[in-house]
Structure 1
Amino acid sequence: MSMDILSLDAVVRELNGLLRGAALSQIHQPGPSELVLRLWTGRENLRLLLSVDPRASRLHLTAKKLPNPQAPPRFCQLLRSRLTRLLAIERLPAERIVLLHFAGSEKSRWTLVAELLGSHANLVLLDGAGRVVDTLLRQPQGPRPLLPGRPYLPPAATNRIDLAAGLPEIPALPFERWLLEQITPMTPLWAAELAAAAACGEVPAQLLGHFREQWLAGDFSPCLLTWQGRPLLSALLPQYVEIAGLQRFASMSEAADAFYGEASEDAVFGSGKGELEKLVRKASQRLEKRLANIAAEAERGQNYERQRQLGDLLLANLYRLRRGLAEVTVDDWFADPPAPVTIPLDPALSPQENAEACFRRHRKGKRGVEHIARRRLETAEELDWLAGVALAIDEAETAAELQALRQELVAGGVLKPPARPPRRLPAPAADAGLRQALSPSGLRLIWGRNNRSNDQVSKSLTDADDLWFHAHNLPGCHLVLKREGRREIPEADIQYAAALAAGYSRGRDDHKVEVMVVEGRSVRKPKGARPGLVLAEPMRTLVVRPQRLPEASAEKNEG
């Protein structure tokens, strides 16, 4: 969720005290919707993050070291060439729009406008005359085109009552709704807080007046809290509404940095486990319904061979047929024992044409059966793939892992690609997504955390003489036990590897799980198969108790 107007106001006041007059030492663009400005205050270097991500547009200092691409994008290059020192920061009255005023070379002046308006968020660079130089997200069309050389026009002003202008009279309307619809600055949390206080007997005018005085004085209490089941960033601490999980911070930027960090990604960006689990569950239900339809279609098409028999019977009885007959009864020698059968005819066709119609239905039915078999196999493989994705979602622990799974679902056609590229996360290591451990005798064990890392295990890390493990008929990891030159592998190592393969499968909570043991040379990936799907010929199967390692004991490489 994007930063609300109260939090933004608190950040702007905080930044004005810290950054006014700071020298701009570096600008980089870690992602398509983010800029980081590194500023030297004379005492310390601070990083100012500006994000126009439609899910979380915001402005605050950050302690996180975000990636700095080697080749700066277009807008980043422009800012580097123009801006040298931050002069002041201001928020437009009643708006989530922040103006960052900069000095440039030869006494030039520039303004970076941060329109932090959720789905309409953007960054706009203006020259000293207030004309648009360029924008981060170009918008040549629409009700307010932002084009180079044109005067900058802010969005149309809202018709809300700005508390900065004074305290309004409170009409005879539901207090909470009036606050939300007519007053600025206001948030849903604080409209509910003031309404709850009024319900306890407090005078609404006095409540609103106290809120206004606290806001104008900058008497903020930056915090994170949970309200109505949702985590929130708040500039003020409520007292009347029921909250949970309260965390207080020394500054608004620290609170925002924590809120928009990885730990809150699921709730803030709406791209966590819950969303993906629901998506995969719905896709699996569609495929299961498709399988049921395929089975019904296969049942209907089972009589195609009978059409060939009827065609043969008609050809053998042509002398009894003539155009215009609606049916004919002949001896069916295909039955055991032979018995009369009545064959429907098309009166408009000749006897030979009626026989050919039977053969045509036979050929069509035969093709249909082949098509049904292919569809059934493809659907079953897609269900297996989704089962692997569901397990990987359940096992995922970081935002990067979830983003990789989203990308896999996009590539698999289950999820539509985002209108804008996703937030850039740190580049994974070459062995990202793998777990490693040692067997009892010291042999290496490597297994995947998701479909793509399972592919890496099976295709790249499994040699012909290695042993490969997978839970039988269950979604789970691909695990390889490296032989490393040994002729014989101790049975204890094989049992241990099988137990881990069971532990990192959907059967991890079962008492016993059957696990396949396969030589590496017998594992192959069919051409065009989805990630995580391979063919393997088991040497044998083992029934083992699932086992997982403590996270500190498993050498995890996060994706």
Structure 2
Amino acid sequence: MAYDGVTMYLVRRELQELLTGARVEKINQPDKLTIILQLRKHNTSHQLLCSADPRLARIHLYRGKAENPPAAPAFCMLLRKHLAGARLLSVAQDDLERIMTFVFQATDEFGIPTEKKLICEIMGKHSNLILVKTGKGQPATVLGSIKAVNEEMSRYRVVLPGAPYYPPPAQNKLDLFALDEEQLTEIFAGMGKIPPTQALVRAVLGIGKDLAEEIVSRCCPQGALHPLEVVRPLTIALREVAVQLAAGRITPSVTCRSGEKPRLYLFSPAPESDPAARSFSSINAALADFYSSLAAQEAEKAHRQQLLQIIRSGINRTEKKLRLQETELREMENAGRYRIFGELLTANLHLLKTGMDKAEVPNYYDEHARRIVIPLEPSQTPQENAQRYFKKYRKLRDGRQILERRVRETREDLAYLESLLVAVSHADLPGLLEIREEMEQAGFIQKKDRNKAPAKLVSQPLHFRSPDGIDIFVGKNNKQNDRLTLRTAHKEYIWLHVKDLPGSHVIVCHSNPPVATVYAAASLAAGYSKAAASANVPVDYTKVKYVKKPKGAKPGMVVYTNQKTIYVTPKQSLPAEA
């Protein structure tokens, strides 16, 4: 979502009513580009978040608890120096430009009242938070900013302490509150054939992409039309928005469907049939929810990418290790040859002498007793040469047993890493944190030193309902698979897993479910597995009581018996999902 001028207008309106006269209690800077002012009015505290983050530049009331760095950054210290204890006089916006100004009455070091302004420019990568002081008849002077802008960075203006403050250049777009059809037609005529949504963003001040889509969806037929073809309905819709905006008649709602970015609606409520829709009584509450959902998605995405990178790197290393071990194992298959050399030398000691570099003797192990040439060490006696070959044989034989065990362990490690890869691709944020903890315990990730334990997010299995109304649970990671199968599920319930591949454990909460339910559960087992993109996938199923965890096995690793196999098309949802 682009935080546009209309959104800022609505936020300013609420802040003006709620915060005017409030006193600044605390000022914090949780990250490089975000500040939080705590203001108190009528015995109630409010947190005002202002961010110049290019991806999430915004202003709104904040209800969370942000973690602050041990040492306050310089801009935070500057704000504390000038605004601590100050009273908020007003909140202003320049037309529908994305510039909001908070005017404070503060006192200087001599106790003299002074006026300070915190100017928040919300303009994508050019966003900035700037503290200025004002004087009668004098231009505002920059005291400091969250981003310094020098001559090399901008030819239009500098934003440095001591420099005069100049606002960003005006956009010179149409005024939403005073536009008419003729103006809109004239501007659209010079734009060429572009979608109406794009035309609105370019033409009308304060309208961003999301709001433009909301307006176009209200008045224009679907399809990429030339904006000139829909000037009249767009003009009517824009006037309606202007009236609603001026009267404060908005119906903010947020939708956040799985796998999609959250969406904020201002004037058109989200469809009532949408189970992901949430309605709010104020724009600030809606924005707080929207950005909280977006931050959770960003955190989930970052965790997933980090874990996937670690797991894929681990898989590459483990596959290389396995190839080397298997090559070494094939070489050890010649160990029996050295035993034969030793026995043939022992049988022919009477023909051999010290100093010989080879022995040509009959091979009694060959059905035709063909002669074989055996290399000798000239400095050793024939008996010592025979013992040397016996010793080499025993070493390779014993080493082969050790190496075979290591190959089995490496294959288990590879299967485990592949199971993590499947789990990470389907996990939500709590599940990803649980997988990270599992990987730390398994030694794949170095444990971080934590001064305090983070809040424990509980990851739950996916819950579906079969066409027959029977509950089906799908584990989302290895630890969850263990809990679901070995602790939670009744011994008579049905357990399913994709055959011979990494995947989720699936539990059908019934001892003798209908065939349709078994096939539905099997399709989920295939869908949440390494075979998710395949067709006609084999899935094993048996009762939970026949599923066992070998001693010392890694999380999620089990063995099972009494299984049957069916073939299904992978799915990740059911029509009757709970």
Distance 2:451 2:294 in 1: 21
- Alpha-carbon distance in structure 1 between the residues aligned to 2:454 and 2:330: 50
How far, CA to CA, are the matches of 1:369 and 1:465 in structure 2? 43
Q: Which amino acid aligns with 1:411?
A: Q
Residue 334 of structure 1 and its aligned partner are, at CA, apart by 1.4
Task: For residue 479 of structure 1, report the CA deviation from its aligned partner.
Answer: 0.8
Q: Secondary structure at the match of 2:497?
A: strand
The normalised TM-score by structure 1 is 0.58
Please, what is the CA RMSD of the aligned residues? 5.4
The reply to whether residue 457 of structure 1 matches residue 410 of structure 2 is no
CA contact (8 A) 2:465 2:576 kept: no
- Higher-Rg structure is 2
Contact conserved, 2:150 with 2:158, CA < 8 A, in 1?
no
Shift in Å, 1:357: 1.7
1:361 maps onto 2:385 in alignment? no
Q: Does 1:499 align with 2:549?
A: no
Distance 1:325 1:164, change over 3 A: farther
Query: 1:365-392: per-residue Cα shift (whole Å, max 9, x none)?
Result: 1222222222222222222222222122
Q: Distance in 2 between matches of 1:353 and 1:285?
A: 45
2:371 aligned partner: 340
Q: What secondary structure is seen at the aligned counterpart in 1 of 2:165?
A: helix
Q: 2:356 aligns with which of 325, 337, 355?
A: 325
C-alpha distance in 2, partners of 1:371/1:283?
23
Hey, what does 1:519 align to over in structure 2?
543
Query: 1:511 Cα shift?
Result: 2.8
Structure 1 pair 41–294 and aligned structure 2 pair: CA distance change class (3 A)? same
Deviation at 1:470, TM superposition (A): 0.5
Q: Secondary structure at the match of 1:470?
A: strand
Amino acid paired to 2:361: V
Q: CA deviation at 1:434?
A: 0.7
1:539 aligns with 2:569: no
For 2:46, the equivalent position in structure 1 comes to 46
**Are residue 307 (structure 1) and residue 334 (structure 2) matched?**
no
2:503, 2:475 → 1: CA distance? 9
Instruction: Give the secondary-structure state (helix, strand or coil) at the position aligned to 1:301.
Output: helix
> In 2, distance between residues paired with 1:482 and 1:249?
40
Paired amino acid for 1:42:
H
Aligned length: 400
Preserved contact between residue 482 and residue 556 of structure 2 (Cα < 8 Å): yes
Matches within 5 A, 1:94-493: 95=75, 97=77, 185=145, 187=147, 195=154, 204=155, 212-214=165-167, 261=292, 263-264=294-295, 267=298, 271-396=302-427, 398-420=428-450, 424-425=454-455, 427-428=457-458, 432-484=459-511, 488-493=512-517
Question: Could you tell me how far apart the structure 1 residues matched to 2:46 and 2:146 are?
Answer: 29
Amino acid of the structure 1 residue aligned with 2:365: F
Q: Aligned-pair distance for 1:473?
A: 2.3
Cα deviation digits, residues 411-431 of structure 1 (max 9, x gap): 222222235569934531xxx
User: Any conservation in 1 of the 2:38–2:48 contact (CA below 8 Å)?
Assistant: yes
**1:213 positional shift:** 2.9
Do 1:194 and 1:208's aligned partners in 2 also have CA atoms closer than 8 Å? Answer: no
User: C-alpha offsets along residues 81-136 of structure 1, whole Å, 9 cap, x if unaligned?
Assistant: xxxxxxxxx985xx4546758xxxxxxxxxxxxxxxxxxxxxxxxxxxxxxxxxxx
Inter-partner Cα distance in structure 2 for 1:423 and 1:394 = 26
Helix, strand or coil: the match of 2:302? coil
Counterpart in 2 of 1:180? none
CA contact (8 A) 2:464 2:576 kept: yes
With over 3 angstroms needed to count, the CA separation of the structure-2 counterparts of 1:476 and 1:64, relative to structure 1, is farther
DSSP 3-state at the match of 2:504: coil
1:549 equivalent in alignment to 2:573? yes
Q: What is the alpha-carbon distance in structure 2 between the residues aligned to residue 535 and residue 529 of structure 1?
A: 10
Unmatched 5+ stretches in structure 1: 1-13, 25-29, 31-35, 51-57, 69-74, 77-89, 102-161, 167-182, 196-203, 216-242
1:40-62 residue CA offsets vs partner (Å, 9 max, x unmatched): 53252335899xxxxxxx9x986
Per the TM alignment, residue 303 of structure 1 is displaced from its structure 2 partner at its CA by: 0.6
Q: Cα distance 1:353–1:62, how it changes in 2: closer, same or farther (>3 A)?
A: farther
**501, 517, 530: which one aligns with 2:554:** 530
Query: Contact 1:433–1:450 at 8 Å: present in 2 too?
Result: no
Deviation at 1:538, TM superposition (A): 5.0
* Deviation string, structure 1 residues 308-328 (Cα, Å, up to 9, x no partner): 121111221222233333221
CA distance in 1, matches of 2:553, 2:518: 28
Distance 1:424 1:328, change over 3 A: same
What secondary structure is seen at the aligned counterpart in 1 of 2:167? helix
- Does the 8 Å contact 1:439/1:497 carry over to 2? yes
CA–CA distance in 1 between the matches of 2:351 and 2:151?
89
Partner of 1:272: helix, strand, or coil? helix
3-state secondary structure, aligned to 1:333: coil
Residue 543 of structure 1: how far off its partner (Å): 0.7
Q: 1:277 to 1:364 in 2, by over 3 A?
A: same
What amino acid maps onto 2:464 in structure 1? A
Greater RCO (CA < 8 Å, at least 6 residues apart): 1
Classify the secondary structure of the residue corresponding to 1:212.
Answer: coil
Corresponding position of 1:7: none
Identity of aligned residues (%): 25
What is the CA–CA distance in structure 2 between the aligned matches of 1:211 and 1:334, rounded to whole Å?
100
- Cα gap change, 1:522/1:192 in structure 2, threshold over 3 Å: closer, same or farther? farther
Question: How far 1:499 sits from its partner (Å)?
Answer: 2.0
Q: Is the 8 A contact 2:60 2:288 kept in 1?
A: yes
TM-score, with structure 2 as normaliser: 0.56
Q: CA deviation at 1:494?
A: 2.1
For 2:523 and 2:309, how far apart are their aligned partners in 1?
30
Distance, in Å, in 1 between the alignment partners of 2:543 and 2:316 is 34
Q: What is the SS of the residue equivalent to 1:469?
A: strand
Query: Could you tell me how far 1:532 is from its partner in structure 2?
Result: 1.4
CA contact (8 A) 1:19 1:39 kept: no
Per-residue deviation, 1:67: 11
Separation in 2, partners of 1:545, 1:186 = 54
Q: Which runs of 5+ in 2 are unaligned?
A: 1-14, 31-35, 51-56, 82-129, 135-142, 169-207, 212-262, 267-281
Q: How many Å separate the matches in 2 of 1:341 and 1:542?
A: 55
**1:286 Cα offset (Å):** 1.3
